[in-house]
Structure 1
Amino acid sequence: MSKQTSGQPRRTMRQNLKELPAQAWLLTIGATINRFASFATVFLVLYLRSHGFSLPKAGAAVAAVGIGELVASVLGGHLADRIGRRNTIALSMFCSAASMLALSQVRPFLAILAVAFLAGTFAELYRPAGAALVADVVPEGQRVTAYAVLRFAINLGFAAGVATAGLLADHSFFLVFATDAASSIIFGVIALLSFPDNRSPAGTQGEGRGGYRRILSDRAFAFFLVASALVALVYFQQQTTLPIHVLRQGLSKTDFGLLLSLNGLIVVVFELPISVVTMRVPARQALSVGFLLIGLGFALTALAHSMPMLFVTVGVWTVGEMISAPVGYAYVADLAPKELRGRYQGLYGLFWASGTVTGPILGGLLFTVSANGFWALCGVLGLAASALTFGIRQRLVTLGEDDVAAIERAPGGLKP
């Protein structure tokens, strides 16, 4: 993510998109097809309820999927560095297809829990490999655009896919699982035919515990992981305390759905244009602003007692999301040595996903004590994450000369 100098003409979004390599577009196409049909787990509760399982048991199956997704972040990163990005994506997709079909057939509850865990693991196993592949094939200065395109396509595919899934479910739940499996197979075939076999040479894989010791000794990355976990705790209040707040204002579930729809609409329309601006800004500054806006947006919820005010708050934290998300992936890619890119992205995904656990637990406890106090705490956490990210000054990890040169060129790297 190289900073544009004042002597260079400003690049347009069209120029940035045209110069993305073909493999980045193929990854985006494959991920979009897969995300369009990744709706089996969304309908899992309804599916299990239709087979007579209680709501607590259905919820336990969804939790098993979530635990699998957390495991996938670390395991997927390790495999991406060990067996290569292409092979990890293909393994993820083909095994995901098999697990989705199995989930539609198993009936004993313990078997459902086991297969749901595998489904969550394999469905998300590709993500660190995909993020690392972008870093492999996209030049440093174009990575923010590449990650923004990938997020745009995935969000658009999911939004369109969920609506389609409802139509399929009305006819047969099996069609939901079968379509999900088919999309995974398509993505797996695209990976095998289109992506390079870029396994690291023997001796450069940073294998095992030694590789993770190198990563954890990278204090710049460690600080960024902590900041990401803090802001993720705040961000995932959209799934827990925000709906409670909306209902407490006398609004409806439909109103809450409209708020989340606004978030998706803003991301689809504005994230790519915003990425043209953020790619010119040093990464630490962009991330700090994004994290601050996420915290501020949720803090303002304490003052939002009507739909117009709630629209404003959602708009604020959505802008923060659009600024920080693509830059975050690119920043991690710039920090990581090539042979550890998968594990860097996997740990980043794990710490971000930790918000799906810490958010509901802490949010539920603290919101019942003082709702306004909790929203204020969200603002404080966003400020802390922003300050922590902006305060990252240097990398205290031993790197090769090529790695040091790359990070020095990257905004927010070794420069004071």
Structure 2
Amino acid sequence: MRGWLRDTAGGLPATYWYLWAGLLINRVGGFAVLFLSLYLTAQRGASAALAGLVVGTYGIGGVIGTLAGGVLADRWGRRRTLVWSHLACAVVLGSLALATDLWVIAVLCALLGLGQSMPGPAFVAAITDMVPAARRSRAFNLEFWAFNIGTAGASLVAGLLAEWSYVGLFLLDGLSSLIAGLVFALKLPETLPAPGFVAVKTRGMRTVLSDRIFLVFAGLTLLQALLYTQTSTIVPLAMRADGLSPSAYGTMTALAGALIVLGQLFVPRLIDRHRKARVLAVAQAAMAAGFAVLIVADRLPAYLAAAAIWTVGSMLAAPPNAEINSELAPPALRGRYQAVFYLTYPAASFLAPALGGAGLQYLGSAHWAVVAGVGVVASALHLVAGPSRERHVASIRAETAATALPDAASR
């Protein structure tokens, strides 16, 4: 067991673990978005469709924040972007705890989406900067593991706290953002390569937006994000319609987190022998199967079974998604590539609740058949796009080796 742990987590630099710890701290207090739709319907009297639109403003802010975060990560630095975005989130969450008007809440949700999306590109760019290529799959797997350790603990406690005080949830979330920001400020060095370090001619964001292979991959990630975002926006509304309490949703989310905590470290050994496109196809199919269960679900055991199935899919997808993303990005544009990649998540944060709220209201359980169908389509498209993507990654590696670009981790 000790040797397995060394193989799983060994070889990673100390600075990586400060990033990992900051992410874990932030997620332990990450209550707000998970329970925002329930807060709006239960405490502010919003309908399912209106709650979906208000929560959708989080995604609108996230689009702006993600693009800004990518540019800032490349120009201003990874560390500064991480520190100030977390501090800004703490202020917004404190304000959200005091807001009562739906329009004010919608504006604050947009600002929260902006602040919480900005760190993503800087976070992944910093990991890519400091971790050697051979260890990045494990680094990204451990990142996903930490994210879900925090989410599992947060959801288990938050489901009970939501029945006592939603205001307390927002304040605790803000406190965790503040602490994470301080960890990054005090312990994280800047990993941005020095000017002139990467000898590659680039055209900024235009280079990213003209990379068709990368954009296809980002589009497929958007389909996956559309499915996954259902779990934090529309699934709780479906459970409420079936007469289940917020604590039941917390239990379901905690189960998903527990499965990841117990099983995620085994994923690299399970998938390393297989092509990434095939792993992603299987992952999408599993997620589709999980949402298909919701067509007939009306009690907690059925929701728990569905969550277990789609969680397995998300566990399999996390390492290859992050690794492919890092492989497709030239060193000089890591922040910008991460920004466009991470746009899929705020876009899904808007589209999933905005469309899903209306879908649940007007289609009922048939909504989940549509969601499962999206997963099946994404699975097939990964198999089609995989070969050309693998050839493109190979050409990037050959070009990088030919120009003798030094790796940031070797400095």
Same fold (TM over 0.5): yes
Which residue matches 2:77? 84
Letter in 2 for 1:15: D
- Work out which of the residue numbers 74, 92, 111 in structure 1 matches 2:67: 74
Confirm or deny that 1:27 pairs with 2:27. Answer: no
Q: Which residue among 28, 31, 38 is the counterpart of 1:39?
A: 31
Aligned match for 1:274, one of 263, 267, 270: 267
Change (3 A) 1:390 1:216: farther
Closer/same/farther in 2, CA of residues 143 and 112 from structure 1, 3 Å limit: same
- Deviation for aligned residue 1:88: 0.8
Residues 21 and 237 of structure 1, relative CA distance in 2, 3 Å threshold: same
Kindly indicate whether the alpha-carbon contact (under 8 Å) linking 1:279 and 1:327 is maintained by their aligned counterparts in 2: no
CA distance in 1, matches of 2:33, 2:355: 25
Describe how 1:209-220 pairs up with structure 2 within 5 A.
Answer: 210-220=203-213
Residue 33 of structure 1 aligns with an amino acid whose one-letter code is I
| AA partner of residue 14 (structure 1) | R
Contact kept in structure 2, 1:231 and 1:295, CA below 8 Å: no
Q: Does 1:222 align with 2:215?
A: yes
TM-score w.r.t. length of structure 1 = 0.77
Is 1:299–1:379's contact at 8 Å kept on the other side of the alignment? Answer: yes
Mapped partners of 1:107, 1:309: distance in 2? 35
Partner of 1:380: 373
Correspondence for 2:153 among 140, 150, 160: 160
Q: Among residues 400, 403, 406, which one is paired with 1:403 in the alignment? A: 400
TM-score by length of 2: 0.78
Matched, 1:199 2:192: yes
1:185 aligns with 2:178: yes
1:336-391 Cα distance to aligned partner (Å, 9 max, x none): 11122222222222213433333334445556676676544444322321222222
Shift in Å at residue 327 of structure 1? 1.9
1:145 Cα deviation (Å)?
1.9
Question: What are the superposed Cα offsets for residues 72-111 of structure 1, whole Å, 9 maximum, x if unpaired?
Answer: 2222122112212111101212222333344456788766
- 1:277 Cα shift? 1.9
Change (3 A) 1:327 1:13: farther
SS at match of 1:12: helix
Shift of 1:174: 7.3
Counterpart in 2 of 1:18? 10
1:291-330 matched pairs, under 5 angstroms: 291-302=284-295, 310-330=303-323
> Aligned residues: percent identity?
32
Shift of 1:158: 3.2
Flag the 1:353–1:59 CA change in 2: closer, same or farther, 3 A. Answer: closer
* CA positional deviation for 1:185: 3.4
Q: Single out whichever of 197-206 and 263-272 deviates more from structure 2.
A: 197-206
8 Å CA contact 1:128, 1:342 repeated in 2: yes
Conservation of the 8 A alpha-carbon contact between 2:221 and 2:344: yes
Shift of 1:27: 0.6
Shift of 1:203: 6.6
- 1:99 and 2:53 aligned: no
3-state SS, counterpart of residue 275 of structure 1: helix
User: For residues 109-159 of structure 1, what are the alpha-carbon distances to aligned partners after superposition, in whole Å with 9 as ceiling and x for unaligned?
Assistant: 766554443333223321221112111112222222222222222222233
Structure 2 Cα separation of the partners of residues 246 and 59 of structure 1: 15
| 2:226 pairs with 1:233 | yes
Gaps of 5+ in 1: 1-10, 407-416
Q: Work out whether residues 82 and 200 of structure 1, in 8 Å CA contact, stay in contact via their aligned partners in 2.
A: no
Distance 1:167 1:257, change over 3 A: closer
The CA distance in 2 between the partners of 1:25 and 1:308, in whole Å, is 37
Q: Check the 8 A contact 1:64/1:116 in 2, yes or no.
A: yes
Question: Distance in 2 between the 1:336 and 1:251 partners?
Answer: 46
Q: Which amino acid aligns with 1:276?
A: R
1:117 maps to a residue whose letter is A
Is there any run of 5+ residues in structure 2 with no aligned partner, and where?
404-411
**1:258, distance to aligned residue in structure 2 (A):** 4.0
Q: Deviations over 1:12-69 (max 9, x none)?
A: 343121222211111111111122233356677898999x966479887655444323
Q: One-letter code of the match for 1:403?
A: T
Match 2:129 to one of 132, 136, 140: 136
CA–CA distance in structure 2, aligned partners of residues 102 and 32 of structure 1: 23
Structure 1 partner of 2:347: 354
Cα-Cα RMSD: 4.1
Separation of aligned partners in 1, 2:357 and 2:162: 32
* Equivalent of 2:388 in 394, 403, 406: 394
